[in-house]
Chain A
Amino acid sequence: MNNKLVILLVIIIAIVGVGSAFFMARPHGLAGSVIDPPVKAPAIDLPSSHGEEFHLQDQRGKIVLLFFGYTFCPDVCPTTLFDMLQIKKRLGDKAEQVSFVFVTVDPDRDTQEQLSRYLKSFDESFYGLTGEESELEQIWSDYGVYREIQENNSSTTYLVDHTSRLYLIDQKGQLSVTYLFDTPVEDIVSDLKYILKQGDSS
């Protein structure tokens, strides 16, 4: 076969391939509920399970995955923390650019020590935040967190009904997406990779 014809065919195939990829490529759609426009994440300044004080503004440049729960939770909280652990694993090296934060809705039982013990069973790098109820109430309100203690006869074994939403705060400190409890881990990982890539390119 004529060499020129072969080269021409290769060029045509390459143009068709690149063109198809260009037209078929769809913009990434975030899996969570998008906050449009993103709003400045309300401040969080609380004692953490790492010992020192946690300031949300210190996390600028990183993505923060934020969850409200309590260590005595029998179902939603351990499941979400396990999901957060899976997210961290699937992000690989990129996980360094993401902070995982767990804010208590049960400050009476969730002390810094209790949070530290509890989070060690998932990942030591996760921040567990607690504080005075008055401080936390402001944060719960800012993030629209519903929280109600289920009354029973015991003062130590009560349950707390609470919001199970996961909040994504971007590198600029803006609340940009929220996720429902049952959002698949791979969808969240895909969103995080996309946002990290966007952050790198901007």
Chain B
Amino acid sequence: MRSGIGKYFLRIGLSLLVSFGMGFLISEGSFYILNQGKPPENQDFILVIPKGTADRIEKGLTVPSISENMVFYEGDRIIVKNEDDVSHQLGPVWVPAGSSGTLDLGQQQKYTVSCSFQPNKSLGLDIRQKTDSATRIQGVLAIGLPSSVLLFLFSIVLKPIQSGSDIGHNNDEK
């Protein structure tokens, strides 16, 4: 006959197994749906500064094709193509007219860089963490651990574990 503690361990083990199985399915399922099963690769985003941008900025107008805030992932790059007649600047990158420059986006962070092709002279960059193996494991853990605790507690409430002494006591009562 299994002891009371053994039964508790079995229940905890089962809760962990079910919860981590569920966590794995949810986390990896979402990853697969979002990335078609492939880890996301670094991307080059081409930002075109159209002709006449400097004139529009001087008049306080926005450039419709360029957003004020952009979201990227670690390791992405912004390639600034300057089709305007004057040079432009995006943070550390200075791009003469008719050329292009590249801004390498580093680690995860949210910041604002100086930008000559925005009316407020700044551009918000939101660099998010790339989904790597560590993130995927974190996802499974984040679902699996709390779920296993909850599952164990619910199971205890719904189907209490009877220890050996309890069974003996019950048999005596009968």
Contact = CB atoms under 8 A, between A and B. Distances in A.
Interface stretch (A11-19, A34-42, A111-119): A34-42
B102 A165 contact: no
A36 B96 contact: no
Nearest to A36: B100
A35 B92 contact: no
B87 interface: yes
Interface in A81-130: none
Nearest to B95: A35
A190 interface: no
A38 B92 contact: no
Contacts of B88: 144
Nearest to B88: A144
Interface in B64-98: 86-89, 92-98
Interface residues of A, number: 15
Contacts of B87: 142-144
A36 B94 contact: no
A191 to B, nearest CB: 15
Interface string B93-137: 111111111110000000000001000000000000000000000
B97 A39 contact: yes
B102 A36 contact: yes
B143 to A, nearest CB: 41
A165 B86 CA distance: 17
A124 to B, nearest CB: 30
B101 A35 contact: yes
Contact of A39 (B92, B93, B99): B99
Contacts of A144: 86-89, 94, 96, 116
Contacts of A34: 101-102
A39 B94 contact: no
A43 interface: no
A36 B101 contact: yes
Contact of B99 (A35, A143, A165, A180): A35
A37 B102 contact: no
A39 B101 contact: no
Contacts of A188: none
Contacts of A175: 96
Contacts of B116: 144
A178 interface: yes
Interface string A136-158: 00000111100000000000000
A39 B100 contact: no
A33 B102 contact: yes
A33 B93 contact: yes
Contacts of A180: 92
Nearest to A141: B86
A167 to B, nearest CB: 9
Interface string A26-63: 00000001111111000000000000000000000000
Given A33-B102, A34-B102, A141-B86, 16 more contacts: A35-B95, A35-B99, A35-B100, A36-B99, A36-B101, A37-B99, A38-B99, A39-B97, A39-B98, A39-B99, A144-B86, A144-B94, A144-B96, A144-B116, A178-B93, A178-B94
15 contacts: A33-B102, A35-B96, A35-B100, A35-B101, A36-B99, A36-B100, A39-B96, A39-B98, A142-B87, A144-B86, A144-B88, A144-B89, A144-B94, A175-B96, A178-B93
